[in-house]
Structure 1
Amino acid sequence: MTLIQPFSGLRPAPDQAGEVAAPPYDVMSAAEARRMVEGRPWSFLHISRPEVDLPPGTDPYAPEVYAKAHENLGRMLDQGLLIRDPQPSYYVYRLTMGGHRQTGLVAAASVEAYDTDRIKKHEHTRPAKEDDRVRQIQALGAQTGPVFLVYRAHAEIDACLARVSGAEPEVDITAPDGVRHELWTLTDAGEIDLLTRAFDALDALYVADGHHRSAAASRVAAQGRQEGRAKDQEQGFLAVIFPHDQMQILDYNRVVRDLNGQSVADFLDRIRSAFEVKPSGTPVKPAAPADFGMYLKGQWYLLRLDPRHIPAEDPVARLDVSLLQEHLIAPILDIGDPRRDDRIDFVGGIRGLEGLAARVDSGEMAVAFALHPTRMEDLMAVADAGEVMPPKSTWFEPKLADGLVSLVLD
């Protein structure tokens, strides 16, 4: 299989995309998902979060949840809400959030390329979440949650996507969060061949978001091969691929429950061993790497790490999330494993600095840290080195919608 291939997408019927499209399954709680489907019988959440149609408190990993997903997909097919395209196609997908716009390609990405690390990862996965996605794919006979991939910007590919998206979109909807989603179908054989060849000439693609979905697709394909029933469509996984220079990564900030038994004065003194500490009369949004905002007892501070502590040649250790962990959170707050320590929590930059301050002002947390966003170039450098990013390093916005295009495995 080439790095990417076209496929016959399963899509909402004409004029139904707004009724079907839903946020990614993993960005809301079960309670939030239930509220989102109120008055929306055709929301794709009935497929991606089928527990919304079962009694509250249902284990989301219970067999009846996957059975309900299968039932709901069948109901939407029977009612003509979802229709499969008659021929293999690529799809051009544009996201617009405020003044930010990014245009990418929906395609079936090669499982073999994923398995051989030509599609590069930067996160560990958790077995329970992988198992969940495997069961979901098997229950539906389809991949419905797209993996968010990135390619290094390429003039020929970018020009082709610009040409296709110059026409009127087939789908043009604005979600409740204000993000605009546009979609074009690409069936021209010449353009399909151009994109297939251009992508196949790339050294690599990078997983930006969707490590569990891509790992699950790989497991499903491997199981099919082992059982002697490998299907062509199982050798690819549903992906939306964007150029790296159009990505928007927001900050992923930290809040900590206590000061590890220290007074405010002692805490500040210990920070000064590695950081320059400047009080600020306004909230601090770091303008450069190795700068951090800190909110403590109603006061904002700018923390600037001594440059001698920045290991320029190590792609993981030089990340701001690593620097803050190594020089403050671990040695001063005694949080050695942020994956497991419940004294620390993480706040996506989409909530703003006020979201950080609110967690401290409420008394729930003692201190908050605002970080400079991880750069896309740093993510790719980590992946190229075969390394893994620290937890909660990137927050991509805008998010892809579920339900606009699905990949049927037959």
Structure 2
Amino acid sequence: MAIIRPFKGLRPEAGLAARVAAKPYDVLSSAEAKVAAAGNPYAYYHVSKSEIDLPDGTDIHSQAVYDKAAENLQRFVKEGVLFQDEQPCYYIYKLVMDGRAQTGLVCASSVADYNNGIIKKHEFTRPEKEQDRINHIKATRAQTGNVFLAYTDVPELNVLIDHWQQQHAPAYDFTADDGIQHTVWVVSDPAAVKQITSLFAEKVPHTYIADGHHRAASASLVQKEFAEKQLIKSGEDPVNFFLTTIFPASQLAILDYNRLVKDLNGHSAADLLSRLEYDFTVENVGHVPQKPAMLHEFSMYLEGNWYRLVAREGTYTTDPIGILDVTILQHNVLDKLLGIQDPRTDKRIDFVGGIRGLEELARRVDSGEMKVAFALYPVTIQQLFDIADSGNVMPPKSTWFEPKLRDGLITQTI
């Protein structure tokens, strides 16, 4: 069963929350972070993307960047931008995007649960990305990035969290520049804290990483290093846990994660369309973009026209990986026709989150940068759970979750 703990969150003064809050460090470039933080000395990018405060051209993985992050975090505390709660708390974090709300519990999840499979994964991690977060955690002595977890709904937890929101005023409530509303409540009552901890221990057999595999892996590796150096004082030491926000599955939505390819691998457009008909029904739907309406349906943009592709029977298997649309597209189009065998490394393919819309796909093809685009039906949360439960991993760039949690609203120190 899932082990979670309250913790003494490091968080902004109420009047500064909107200015501190920053998008996750890995969804924008250093240049974009520098623009986002311009004129705002309180932006958490000064901690999560601290290269913005160093000379242009600084290696973002250099020790100078990690040292600057630690310096900036300490400055925020010294100047009163951030303060630490005096007692361990849970935090309720509600996000509203385009009228849809999702409410999660910010807590410290067990590294042991991550190591032994109570917290389930669905992606491979890359050592260089793990090392970046390891260096950041060790320099700042803080987990500044939130890991987004999901769990199968527990009615008692939903009722408890809903009741707390109704009965208590939020600590923060603001709408960011992108129109997403962020509301946070602090759960400090010992009885409520104890009840939440017990409900997870009794009712939640597993949690699933939705977003943040590298952050989770790095927290595990830091804990291992601290244990080997005998730096851990007890089982409740903060380094034995990592910063997470856990959402009930029923409230989550996964957006499509679409593909663009730079060339047709020597095929003409007419030849590609002809070859596609072996594995798909192909329908020209004109110039107006249409999102796929169901599983195994794809939208393709080629030479100014949108096409509806529907996978024929026999082009996919029914196992958790084989039935995924990303797998169907990879095997029957990207590899078979366009020669892209490894989408992780091939420079001819690019990926665009569904938050950008189909218009972005058309724009990049029309500009001549790309030759063809494919839009996919989103993976379902149940498909994600099935793959994690089976011990498999998703193909690369399969899921895009929105809205994104903001960094800086709650940090765990270690």
TM-score class normalised by the smaller sequence: over 0.9
Question: Residue in 1 aligned with 2:134?
Answer: 134
Question: Residue in 2 aligned with 1:38?
Answer: 38
Structure 1 residue 348 and structure 2 residue 353: aligned?
yes
| 1:138-149 alignment runs, 5 A limit | 138-149=138-149
* Counterpart amino acid of residue 19 in structure 2: E
Structure 1 residue 168 and structure 2 residue 178: aligned?
no
Is this contact kept in 2: 1:10–1:406, CA < 8 A?
Answer: yes
Deviation at 1:323, TM superposition (A): 0.6
Match of 2:229 among 204, 227, 230: 227
Deviation at 1:229, TM superposition (A): 1.1
Runs (4+) off by over 6 Å:
none
Is this contact kept in 1: 2:91–2:184, CA < 8 A?
Answer: yes
SS of the equivalent of 1:292 reads: strand
Structure 1 residue 379 and structure 2 residue 384: aligned?
yes
Match of 1:285 among 287, 291, 300: 291
* Counterpart amino acid of residue 278 in structure 1: E
- Cα deviations by residue, 1:95-153 (Å, 9 ceiling, x for unpaired): 00111110010000000000001100000011111000001001111111110000111
Question: Residue in 2 aligned with 1:50?
Answer: 50
Match of 1:307 among 299, 302, 313: 313
Normalised by the length of structure 1, the TM-score is: 0.98
In the alignment, the residues of structure 2 paired with residue 308 and residue 123 of structure 1 have an alpha-carbon distance, to the nearest angstrom, of 26
* Counterpart amino acid of residue 230 in structure 2: G
Name which of structure 1's ranges 249-258 and 2-11 shifts more when overlaid on structure 2.
Answer: 2-11
| 1:332-343 alignment runs, 5 A limit | 332-343=337-348
Match of 1:330 among 328, 335, 353: 335
Is this contact kept in 2: 1:151–1:206, CA < 8 A?
Answer: yes
Question: Residue in 2 aligned with 1:158?
Answer: 158
* Counterpart amino acid of residue 301 in structure 2: Y
Question: Residue in 1 aligned with 2:400?
Answer: 395
Question: Residue in 2 aligned with 1:214?
Answer: 216
Identity %: 50
Is this contact kept in 2: 1:33–1:49, CA < 8 A?
Answer: yes
SS of the equivalent of 1:265 reads: helix
Is this contact kept in 1: 2:252–2:381, CA < 8 A?
Answer: yes
* Counterpart amino acid of residue 89 in structure 2: S
Deviation at 1:332, TM superposition (A): 0.6
Is this contact kept in 2: 1:149–1:242, CA < 8 A?
Answer: yes
In the alignment, the residues of structure 2 paired with residue 220 and residue 230 of structure 1 have an alpha-carbon distance, to the nearest angstrom, of 11
Deviation at 1:203, TM superposition (A): 1.3
- Cα deviations by residue, 1:272-308 (Å, 9 ceiling, x for unpaired): 0000000002212000000000000000000000133
In the alignment, the residues of structure 2 paired with residue 365 and residue 75 of structure 1 have an alpha-carbon distance, to the nearest angstrom, of 45
Question: Residue in 1 aligned with 2:252?
Answer: 247
Say what the alpha-carbon RMSD is for the aligned residues.
1.0
SS of the equivalent of 1:350 reads: helix
In structure 1, stretches of 5+ residues that fail to align are: none
Is this contact kept in 1: 2:2–2:206, CA < 8 A?
Answer: no
In the alignment, the residues of structure 2 paired with residue 175 and residue 14 of structure 1 have an alpha-carbon distance, to the nearest angstrom, of 15
SS of the equivalent of 1:83 reads: strand
In the alignment, the residues of structure 2 paired with residue 204 and residue 107 of structure 1 have an alpha-carbon distance, to the nearest angstrom, of 15
